Structure 1
Amino acid sequence: MKSKQAHILLVEDNPLDVATTKRAFLAQGVENPIHVAQNGKIALDMLLGRGRPALWPIPQIILLSLDLPGTGGLEFLKELRNSPQLKACMVFVMTSQGSESDMTEAYELNVAGYIVKPIQYSSFLETIATLHSFWNLIELPN
């Protein structure tokens, strides 16, 4: 299956999780460009071009941690959904600890999925493979 070249924004503050995610993408043959932001404010600045050139094309897929310093994941998600140029981005929450209230709020903000990160690397590889298959099956707006 040929990979769509949708850009991906990974919003994650843990360098080990960033490296693990990138390694899992490489191991699964995911060649989509990946941009990384350490918190929600940096991610919004990157997307909206505040203080820097905006990412282009706008990443259509966002992998979002909820437990972030400064502007947290849910706050980022609220701002994203209120932005006319960003509200169509497909967001997958990827968190190490899932609470029922966070999950409910995330789905109320139209996330495409809420994933509690597996601890085993092999399970994480399967998660990435499933995500990759999903976004290659669906049509994304230009």
Structure 2
Amino acid sequence: MSNSRQSRSEPAQILLVEDNPGDVRLTQEAFKQGRIENELHVVSDGNEALKFLYQRGGYADVPRPDLILLDLNLPKKDGEEVLEELKGDSDLQAIPVIVLTSSRAEEDVVRSYELHANAYLTKPVDPDDFIETVRAFEKFWFSVVRLPPEGD
């Protein structure tokens, strides 16, 4: 048996890169209501996201995420810059990235896919709809999709 998390013997590791505390709370609430085991790690800007992914500074012992939820509008280093760096790194590029943002701008959608985002979700304004959206993609990504095994 491979040590892939597909067996669900370990929780999925999810990195949420989000600077809006309200959206962080709604995402945490959605995951809490879901039946899928996962661990949600939260960082609030692009620089912290990259430190987490490269396990630098205070993040030396953090797990490699199975999935990244990335807001585009971030302080310091924006989501597009994080996505570009992540997808340009051969060790990290296999981690699926879901852009979860309030932007409905077509150029943001196009640019995210050009930078190899795996999906683009627009955050609903209504909190209940937001929770439902997060739960739907959680179910899809962790029940239906096969994620790549962790790199060696």
TM-score, scaled to structure 1: 0.90
1:21 aligned to 2:10? Answer: no
Task: Give the superposition deviation at 1:119.
Answer: 1.2
Q: How many residues align?
A: 140
Name the counterpart of 1:102: 108
Range moving further from structure 2, 129-138 or 31-40? 129-138
Residue equivalent to 2:146: 139
Query: What RMSD over aligned residues (CA atoms) do the two structures have, in Å?
Result: 1.7
Q: Distance in 1 between the 2:37 and 2:127 partners?
A: 19
Aligned equivalent of 2:123, options 94, 114, 117: 117
Gaps of 5+ in 1: none
Give the distance between the partners of 2:19 and 2:90, measured in 1 at CA: 26
| Structure 2: gaps spanning 5 or more residues | 1-5
Residue deviations 1:18-38 (CA, integer Å, cap 9, x gap): 111101111223430010111
Structure 1 residue 3: Cα displacement: 8.6
Larger RCO, structure (CA 8 Å, separation 6 or more): 2
Match status 1:83 vs 2:72: no
Q: Kindly tell me: are residues 99 and 117 of structure 1, through their superposed partners in 2, closer, same or farther at Cα, counting changes over 3 Å?
A: same
Q: Whole-Å Cα distance in 1 between the matches of residues 130 and 113 of structure 2?
A: 22
**Deviations 1:29-60 (CA, angstroms, capped at 9, x unpaired):** 3430010111111011011022230522x102
1:55 equivalenced with 2:62 (yes/no): yes
Q: Report the residue type matching 2:40 in the other structure.
A: I
8 Å contact 1:3–1:31 — kept in the other structure? no
With the length of structure 2 as denominator, give the TM-score of the two structures. 0.85
Alignment-derived partner of residue 37 in structure 1: 43
Report the AA paired with residue 18 of structure 2: E
